[in-house]
Structure 1
Amino acid sequence: MRLPCEVSVASRLLPSAGLRGPGRSVRAVLALGKPPGGGGGGGGGVWLLVSTARQRPGAKYQLRENIEQLFTKFVEEGKATVRLKEPAVDICLSKANVGQLKTFLSAMKLADRGTNEESLPLSTLAPPKASEVEKPKTKMTITSRKDYPLTQNFPYTLEQLQASYCKLPGIDMRMLCLKSLRKLDLSHNCIKKLPATIGDLVSLQELSLQGNLLESFGVALCDSTLRKSLQSLDLSQNKIKALPAQFCQLRELIHLKLDDNDLIRLPFKIGQLSQLRFLSVARNKLPFLPNSFGKLSLESLDLFGNPFEQPKPLAPDIQLKIPLTLWEYSARATINYRLPYSCHVLPSHLCHDLDMSKSCHCGRACLSSFIQTTVTMNLHSVAHTVVLVDNMGSTEAPILRYFCSLTCYSQFLDRHLQSIR
């Protein structure tokens, strides 16, 4: 029975001798077994072997009636301490697999009592292989096709993985088993589609897909655990025309790069990305910005090279139906009064319609009956640093505005006309 973890051994006699305690924890492998010939310095029973990279033969500790106490308060975090009577040391364990640690501690208790030893999965104590006690690999960088591993699995301990310029046609499914992965860089490949299972990478914080052949970003990814973990996303230099409305569920995003795509619109509820601080959507095909764009609070914004239309506040698109339908009245009331709804209460298509509601300039909701127009917005109102929108030195862009009634639109017109007089 073996347990890989980090270990520090502290002697309880050191303070009385005026000596310092142990240093940092080191990578180690713990093993339970019986020494060859049943010896090991005297006494039978089960022994504990602690092996490190510097001392692979390891230090042996007898366990029978020799465990003074087990400290397991933080076992769910992969931590525990074994206090021995002789020698007077505390063996502090950390960064262990929780399930393996619990099993190992249970076996140590049985070894201490000297009961049911025959039922324990013991083996002859022998030094582990060098690879077993080496510090686990947490970072891997691959920048060419010839260096890409075809027959070997990726180390399961990886936290950062870069596989660029490898001509990958899709996501390697072996990557989706790396549950500790925090940063994944697959830039400059030939990836056309993203599997929904990327959402199984529960620790993923940074994802770079720059320079691929992507045409979409799936709804399933927006509904996955990426909602709680993803902080940086680079989709620049692809072929994406639009992002789904559900994209705005990625509420933890801080950095978002969408440069050099074919975007004709941004998600209309992009203002829900309250953590977003760095946004770059240069060289796309945006004619205007969505209504909620004004809710963003950015440090840096780049919209250079988009064919923004000239704002037309006096030429509205009127889709207002008078009188309002019963559905429109009901839906507006649901949103305005913040009534809870879900697919367990309403049909899914009605929930979708409610999710796609628009906000009037007055703050009230409208769905299928509204007036819309475009107005000018100074981008410095949402970002501290703004890259010029065009070569003329402009930092203004058209933004879509919705109005729930003729009254709201008339009030807007009055203010607008007064401002240009």
Structure 2
Amino acid sequence: MKLQCDVEVVNRMLPSFGMKSRGKGARAVVSIGKHLDKSSQRSNIYMMICTAKDRTGSKYKLRDNIEKFFTWFVEEGKATVRLKEPAVDVCLSKADANSLKNFLSAARLADRGSDTSSLPLSTLTPVRARDVEQPKKKLSVMSKKDYPLTSNFPYSLEQLQVSYCKLSRVDMRMLSLKALRRLDLSNNHIKKLPATIGDLGCLSELILHNNHLEAFSEALCLSTLQQTLQVLDLSQNRLQSLPSRFCQLRELMNLKLDDNKLAGLPLQIGRLSKLRFLSAAHNQLTVLPADFFKLSLENLDLFGNPFVQPNPLDHTMQLAFPLPLQEIASRAVADLRIPYGPHLIPAHLCGELEAAKMCECRRICVSFHIKTAVSINLHQVSHTVVLVDDMGGTDAPVQQHFCSLSCYSEFLDGCLQRGLR
């Protein structure tokens, strides 16, 4: 049984001499195995700790010699083994949680004097220098020949880049890297993302530039990425749309969507209140969602989209007289901010409420409304704007919704007064 982790051996007698431990662990390999006691000529079970400074290792007898285990933080890869003789605490940290549990279980059996045949014992020999190196935080694989096929990725990785390897899918071994903060899979052939990417609880940057993605899973929008993801690069893929729940990723600060086939941006994009950098150049955008007004950006790039010249008189009307009871009730729920959920109302109604629109009168309309488009200067939502077209323009059409004919008529009157046609 071997365990790679950080180890600090604390002598409990130090305080009585007015001394303190250094309080910092060293990278080590901790083994449990048999060792021949030369004084008694008997084999006993020992724990051996090998570090870079002491590769031959220090041995501690285990049988009837463990006073206590401290395992409150074992799920975080931390535990302490308190020995009777010598009076030391062996503090283990930065270990794989499952490996640590197995190691502690073996140590407990050795302390009780269990049959050695039932113990996963190791040979107590000096370790190699590479076995006690500090855990690797960053790894880049830039060619297919360098891609690890027989070995795992270091569990301690915080940044991983795998590019130009012709990956057609995400390697599931990457999804066990719980410390991963930045995952760069750019310039591959990935077509689909597994929902389990959302289990990477520390992931703040996900780079998927230049792949073959045709969809972005809604499950990812409902995962722990809601609390962690700040940078998302989906540029140069084959995306035609983004899921309705995409704007649940409310920690996003930088979003790149260039060179896809997007016909529209998410309707609730205004909910991305922390978004500061947005690029969606060279897509199929003809109009921006009404929520676009709510953004407050530092840099915006929408160059190369086939935006249409808006005419307020061109509109789509979806109204009924009188309004259906469901629409009246839905508007009341939205206007009064009444809590709702699939445990209270049907799930499809929740989806409709999530996509509710706001009229110029500040009231909500859900399924029944009048829709048109107006032109805005993009400097209203961004400090820096890349030109929208080759003519030097920075205007783009934005959808506008109206809850009633009277609101639409007031809007047209205002346009006429401003000389708009």
TM class by smaller structure? 0.7 to 0.9
Q: Does residue 32 in structure 1 map to residue 42 in structure 2? A: no
Measured after TM superposition, the shift of residue 280 of structure 1 is 0.8
Residue ranges of structure 1 left out of the alignment (5+ in a row): none
Query: Equivalent residue for 1:137?
Result: 136
Query: Equivalent residue for 1:77?
Result: 76
Amino acid at match of 2:275: L
Query: Equivalent residue for 2:394?
Result: 395
Identity of aligned residues (%): 57
Are the structure 2 counterparts of residues 110 and 199 from structure 1 closer, same or farther at C-alpha, using a change threshold of 3 Å? closer
RMSD: 3.3
Q: Contact conserved, 1:29 with 1:128, CA < 8 A, in 2?
A: no
For residues 38-187 of structure 1, the aligned pairs below 5 Å read: 38-39=37-38, 46-63=45-62, 74-82=73-81, 87=86, 89-101=88-100, 104-105=103-104, 115-118=112-115, 121=119, 123=121, 126-127=124-125, 129-130=127-128, 131-187=130-186
Are the structure 2 counterparts of residues 155 and 291 from structure 1 closer, same or farther at C-alpha, using a change threshold of 3 Å? same
TM-score of the pair, normalised by structure 1:
0.85
CA distance in 2, matches of 1:64, 1:147: 45
Q: Contact conserved, 2:215 with 2:240, CA < 8 A, in 1?
A: yes
Amino acid at match of 2:3: L
Amino acid at match of 1:28: A
Query: Equivalent residue for 1:195?
Result: 194
Q: Contact conserved, 1:40 with 1:60, CA < 8 A, in 2?
A: no
Q: Contact conserved, 2:204 with 2:231, CA < 8 A, in 1?
A: yes
Amino acid at match of 1:9: V
Measured after TM superposition, the shift of residue 256 of structure 1 is 0.7
Give the SS at the match of 2:48: strand
Are the structure 2 counterparts of residues 370 and 162 from structure 1 closer, same or farther at C-alpha, using a change threshold of 3 Å? same
Query: Equivalent residue for 2:215?
Result: 216
Measured after TM superposition, the shift of residue 146 of structure 1 is 2.7
Q: Deviations over 1:46-85 (max 9, x none)?
A: 5332111332211123456766766555445333445556
CA distance in 2, matches of 1:329, 1:121: 70
Measured after TM superposition, the shift of residue 234 of structure 1 is 0.8
Q: Contact conserved, 1:49 with 1:125, CA < 8 A, in 2?
A: no
Amino acid at match of 2:309: Q
Measured after TM superposition, the shift of residue 195 of structure 1 is 3.4
Q: Deviations over 1:147-174 (max 9, x none)?
A: 2334444344433222212222333344
Which deviates the most, 316-325 or 78-87?
78-87
TM-score of the pair, normalised by structure 2:
0.85
Are the structure 2 counterparts of residues 73 and 153 from structure 1 closer, same or farther at C-alpha, using a change threshold of 3 Å? closer
Aligned residue pair count: 418
Which deviates the most, 384-393 or 207-216?
384-393
Query: Equivalent residue for 1:355?
Result: 354
Residue ranges of structure 2 left out of the alignment (5+ in a row): none
Q: Contact conserved, 1:57 with 1:126, CA < 8 A, in 2?
A: no
Are the structure 2 counterparts of residues 191 and 100 from structure 1 closer, same or farther at C-alpha, using a change threshold of 3 Å? closer
Are the structure 2 counterparts of residues 323 and 219 from structure 1 closer, same or farther at C-alpha, using a change threshold of 3 Å? same
